[in-house]
Structure 1
């Protein structure tokens, strides 16, 4: 096996004795490894660097994206949940295929293992990693922003017994806010995705303890309301961008929160 730690230590220089495509195939396998020290260690850093630098050719990057899209149906959770990270790297490098969006859309609300971290497998983070890709697709010119907003609603209304415990609600709220910075969003689309959330949670009686899916939804929408008011940073280095239709989004989010908590 390639010594990825040494390659990372050498500023991710490409080994001269191996074809890049073969190395990328090994990295792809490593990003699905059940060992978190492999999956989330040097191979992750090397792959991210090579994609950002353009070290990997365009055709191989697109093949890699197809591999990640297919991985959404992998039986192993760690393989599924690291696929969106790689796809987001590729999006950032300017790569895009419509089929990647379709595969992601099928997986994200259907994923049932929502653990943020596992003592053996390490970081899983399905909701958070998926949220990052949702933001990437949602800000892409070839993806209708309302499609990703509706996908966020589907994730929030999917039944689960798991309470977000590793800031997944923050990551999802931030992703939604980033999609809402799209200036081509109509006001109706900027708030319409909240309707199924209000319909799903606004009529049920809240039992005690509060069900996990309702707690997750409430916490996500509360932060979204804050971000709609203050704006959201695409990265830590960039200034905050305003949410389009800011007042309408704030009003609609507050109305949904009020409808849920006053039942």
Structure 2
């Protein structure tokens, strides 16, 4: 068994001895651990760092993605929610498989456990972790950006008892904004994905404001800020503007005024 605490203390240098594939297999097993120290601080941190540094080859990254995707259906919440984080790293590193997208989409809108932090399990963060992958896919040329925009609004509108409290709205708002920087989006593409939110907010349930409505409003406010000011993509120092930002802002204002007529 590798001393992963020591690996972390050594700046995530690849330990000598075992082949990288064996080390990765060990980390993949640890990635579903209920112990957040093992899962997050050791397995995830090491894998993400190695992927970013180019330690894994393209075939190894593709194999890693293929191995992790079935975990979207895992019975353990922590196993499910750490898959999108690693896939985000893989896609950002330039490796992509179209077959990874449908399982992610099904999981993202269907996940019921939206807790951000659990005292025993640590960070779970399904919405935020999924948003990171959504943003990476939304910027990938092989993925239709509208597909990711619709996925984001679908996640927001799915009924839930959970009101975002751990910056999920910021993470998803950023992912939507990153997707909207695609220059192949038409004017209708930039606005039409918001139509489901407009319909839902225009017909509020009799019992009052539901958690998903609150989540929609908060996330779209975040998106409005990005549309107004631009956003930093990756490690870029300059802000990237959303190409059709005035059209987007006008539509966002239409949606947000339904519940907050004094806003904008």
Q: How far did 1:236 drift?
A: 5.3
Say yes or no: does 1:133 pair with 2:136: no
Alpha-carbon distance between aligned partners in 1 of 2:107 and 2:97, rounded to the nearest angstrom: 16
Alpha-carbon distance between aligned partners in 1 of 2:197 and 2:102, rounded to the nearest angstrom: 22
Q: How far did 1:13 drift?
A: 2.6
- Structure 2 match to 1:256: 255
Say yes or no: does 1:220 pair with 2:219: yes
The number of aligned residues is 261
Alpha-carbon distance between aligned partners in 1 of 2:206 and 2:31, rounded to the nearest angstrom: 40
Q: Return the TM-score normalized by structure 2.
A: 0.95
SS at 1:72's partner residue?
A: helix
Q: Return the TM-score normalized by structure 1.
A: 0.95
- 5+ unaligned residues in a row in structure 2: which ranges? none
Alpha-carbon distance between aligned partners in 1 of 2:104 and 2:196, rounded to the nearest angstrom: 20
Runs of at least 4 residues of structure 1 off by over 4 A? Answer: none
Alpha-carbon distance between aligned partners in 2 of 1:225 and 1:197, rounded to the nearest angstrom: 15
Equivalent positions of 1:92-103 (< 5 A) are: 92-103=92-103
Equivalent positions of 1:108-257 (< 5 A) are: 108-205=108-205, 207-208=207-208, 210-235=209-234, 237-257=236-256
Alpha-carbon distance between aligned partners in 2 of 1:196 and 1:142, rounded to the nearest angstrom: 25
Alpha-carbon distance between aligned partners in 2 of 1:198 and 1:206, rounded to the nearest angstrom: 17
Alpha-carbon distance between aligned partners in 2 of 1:66 and 1:121, rounded to the nearest angstrom: 25
Query: What's the RMSD between the two structures over aligned residues?
Result: 1.4
- Structure 2 match to 1:88: 88
* Paired residues of 1:181 and 1:244 also in contact (CA < 8 A): yes
SS at 1:40's partner residue?
A: helix
Instruction: After superposing the two structures, state which structure 1 stretch, 75-84 or 228-237, moved more.
Output: 228-237
* Paired residues of 1:198 and 1:260 also in contact (CA < 8 A): no
Alpha-carbon distance between aligned partners in 2 of 1:145 and 1:238, rounded to the nearest angstrom: 24
Q: How far did 1:22 drift?
A: 1.0
Structure 1 residues 22-45: Cα deviation after superposition (integer angstroms, max 9, x where no partner): 110111111111100001112222
Instruction: After superposing the two structures, state which structure 1 stretch, 55-64 or 141-150, moved more.
Output: 55-64
